[in-house]
Amino acid sequence: MASEYKSRHDAVGKILHQEILKNTIGNCEATPYYKYTPESIIETDRYRIYWDRTIRTDREASHNRPDIIVLDKHKKIAQLVDIAIPGAHNMVTTYETKMKKYEELAREIRKMWNVEKVEVLPILISSTGLVHSRLRENLRKLGFSHDVYIISKMQKAIIIKLCSMLRMFLGE
């Protein structure tokens, strides 16, 4: 069952990763998220995008593996994206935990990569599809103006995975 939770988490991450590539690089193929395999590092003259990579730092950071990192070399901004799919009653606590979890890594990245700003952007949608109040704001910080489309796509993936998990649990 643990692999099913990871699969649901990664489904949301793959949707977001593809949308980030479309938004930054512009030449991303329209592959369904369930067939999409993100590359670990994608780099252009302007952007470097990491998928599920451990970031080595000079000082050890206890949490050093956000789901996605977007580095804009021209604007000197790094965005640490971490996805969570908590229960509806845990949304606020999970958001605060994610923000605190990556403070240390954000400080280290600011120094090591010589960036002016590091943003921690938790992406939270509950296991039943509810969205955190700051989700749209965080998607806009990633440069999305069509956030309603992305949110509905992520919600759909979560609900489909939830149905699959329930069928497995019920033995159908």
| CATH number of residue 123's parent domain | 3.40.91
Is pTM, for the whole model, over 0.75?
A: yes
CA angle 53, 54, 60 (to 5 degrees): 160
* Helix axis angle, 147-170 to 2-24, nearest 10°: 160
Provide the pLDDT confidence category of residue 43 given band limits of 50, 70 and 90.
very high
Mean pLDDT of the 86-98 span: 94
Structural domain count of the chain: 1
Mean pLDDT of the 26-53 span: 90
CA separation (Å) from 32 to 48, 152, 156? 23, 15, 13
Interstrand relation of 117-124 and 68-72 (parallel, antiparallel or unpaired):
unpaired
Q: What pLDDT is attached to residue 97? A: 95
Range with the poorest average pLDDT among 101-105, 107-111, 143-147 = 143-147
pLDDT at position 61 over 80: no
Mean pLDDT of the 129-157 span: 92
d(CA 152, CA 34): 16
Residues of the domain holding 49: 2-170
